[in-house]
Structure formats: structure tokens, C-alpha cells
Amino acid sequence: MPDDTGVPVPAVLLIAGSGPTDRNGDNVHVEGSIGTLSYLADVLARRGVASLRYDKSGTGATELDPKTDPAELGHDVYLHEAAAAANFLADRPGIENSGIGLVGHSQGALVALALATDKAGEVPPITSMGLVQPQTARTLDIMMRQVAGLVESGQLVDVDGVDLVSSLNRTVDQIRTSGTIPNDLPEPLRSIGMVPAGATMLATQDELDPIAMAASLPSSMAVFTSCSAKDMQVRCVDVAGLNDVLAQTKLSTTHLETANHVLKDVGDQPSTGAEYGEPLPFAQQFTDAFESWISAR
């Protein structure tokens, strides 16, 4: 919460990206502190906006039921917990009753769009949306593009690239038609989650199309998007495509130069992902653009 003003304040729900990411934006697979969500919360508080962060299922204090079968776990668990958090935030004392904003980072942007387009159950009115380094395509389309890129660049050794891409394409078709994954895929595909136990999660994630959802947002929606030349996970050309379908909204966008995917400033160095947990400063260029949007919403 920002400092007590004696009057209700606007509020924003912060939604983390993919993987085991907690309320701070930290990931159990990354050594050190990423801290992206706690940083965003601090920026919002400085501008008089309350925010709520939460541990995704399976992280921090939000444990999965030990009886849960991972093979039956779908992406809807993340949609439902985000919807519950949105309703919890809107009901807090001291929060404006006109609605709340959503800010999603990376795959969290996909969840934010789902909440705003009635794909996650009942939620309070959504008045604004920040899509920070957002997922811009269906999940399986992204995986196909990434694998094709690895093959074309020669980064996969001892693998027949043509056969690998063909196998992936067949598997994507199978996921989209039957929601299943064969158990005999080559290791490069298994290593990115193409295993039978992950079929339900991938199939339900892939049902969400960020472009289609963004195109259905109302013209009254204040939207912020960001991308960066140093982001190794989200390309600015793809965010530009998302911006095209957001043109009917009140859109503000920023093109960052030295921020990595988690918004830390890498200067003139390339981002490899290995630096995500390092104590680097967050990019001032993003802070300035985000604060301007917050003030203008």
C-alpha cells in the first residue's frame, strides 16, 4: 500500500510469468534474486497505487495439494488463482471501488488478458492493463519457432534438424486435437516439456491466444506494453504485432534499449539469462515510462 492518504486508492494486481515464480518474481531455478514483481510494486506505491502480489501454485506459501496428479494439472489453475487474487484485492478496505488494474510480466500478460476477456470466471471490472515483456503468441507456436531457430542456427548437435521439426509439428497437431503427447519423442523435445505428463498444461495454455484476446479489449482500456532490444525471450517485432491489435485501446508503449527480460539493465552486454538473479539495477528507461503511464491512466 502507498502511504495512507485517508481516501481510497487505485489498485493493481501483479501477475508473474511462467515457471515456479513467487510473489517477488523469483524463480527456484534461478540462483539469486530476480525481484521483478517487488520492483514493480515499489514503483506503483511511489505513484500512490496499491498492489497485490501472490505466490503462484507450487511456489512460496502456495503449496499444491500433494494428491494432485501433475498430468491432470492444467493452466486453469493459474487463471483461477489470479481471478481469486483480483477479487480479494478489489474487496480490500481502502481500495477504489471503480475497478482494478492488471500488470502481467511475460506469460503473466497472457493471464492478465484472460482475466480481462472473461476467460477466468468472475472478476472485478478491469480498468487498465500493463503487458510487460509480454507473451505475444500461442504457447505451442512459440515453442515451434524456438526449436526451428535452434535448428537453423546449428545449436542442436547430433540431431537431425528436419526430423526434429517434423516430430514437433506432428506433436503440436496431436496436442491441439487430442490433448496428448507421445512418450517416445527425441530428447530435445522432452527437455522443453514435451512429455505425456505435461500435455494437459500445454494444451490448456495453448488455448489462450494473446492476439485474439488483445483485439477484444474495449476502447476505454488504458494499456501499457514494453519490449527491449536486449530481451532474449520476447522480440520487439512480436510486441509490435500485439500493439497493432491494441490500437483501438488507450495504448502507451515503450521500446527499451538495455533492459533484459526481467527488466534489469545489462548495459552494453548481451543478455543470456544467466544474469537474471544478479544484483543489477532495474532499467531506468522502463521505470520512467511505467511511471508516466501510471500517472496518465
pTM of the model: 0.94
**Cα 277 from Cα 186, distance rounded (Å):** 31
Q: Count how many residues are written for the chain.
A: 297
Lowest mean pLDDT among 48-62, 72-86, 224-238: 48-62
pLDDT at 6: 79
- What nine digits make up the cell of 156? 542442436
Alpha carbons within 13 angstroms on the beta-carbon side of residue 271 total 24
For residues 96-107, give the mean pLDDT. Answer: 97
Helix axes 284-296 and 36-46, enclosed angle (nearest 10) = 50
How far apart CA 64 and CA 70 sit, in angstroms, is 10
Average pLDDT over the chain, rounded to an integer: 94
The pair phi, psi for residue 276, each rounded to 5°, is: -55, -40
CATH 3.40.50.1820 location in the chain: 11-137+208-296
Q: Is the pLDDT of residue 68 over 80?
A: no
- Is there a contact between 26 and 16 (Cβ–Cβ < 8 Å)? no
Helix 139-153, helix 161-178: angle, nearest 10: 180
Place of cell 519423442: 185
pLDDT for the residue 150 = 86
Q: Reply yes or no on domain 11-137+208-296 having CATH 3.40.50.1820.
A: yes
**Side chain identity at residue 282, one-letter code:** F
Mean pLDDT of 12-16: 98
Q: Of the given ranges (46-50, 150-154, 275-279), which has the lowest mean pLDDT? A: 150-154
Name 278's Cβ contacts closer than 8 Å, sequence gap at least 6: 32, 264
Rounded CA-CA distance 129/120 in Å is 16
- pLDDT per residue as tens digits for the range 154-201: 877 677 888 999 999 999 999 999 999 999 999 999 999 999 999 999
Other Cβ atoms within 10 Å of 80 Cβ, number: 14
Question: Grid coordinates in use for 278?
Answer: 544478479
pLDDT in tens, 234-257: 999 999 999 999 999 999 999 999
For residue 5, what pLDDT is reported?
73
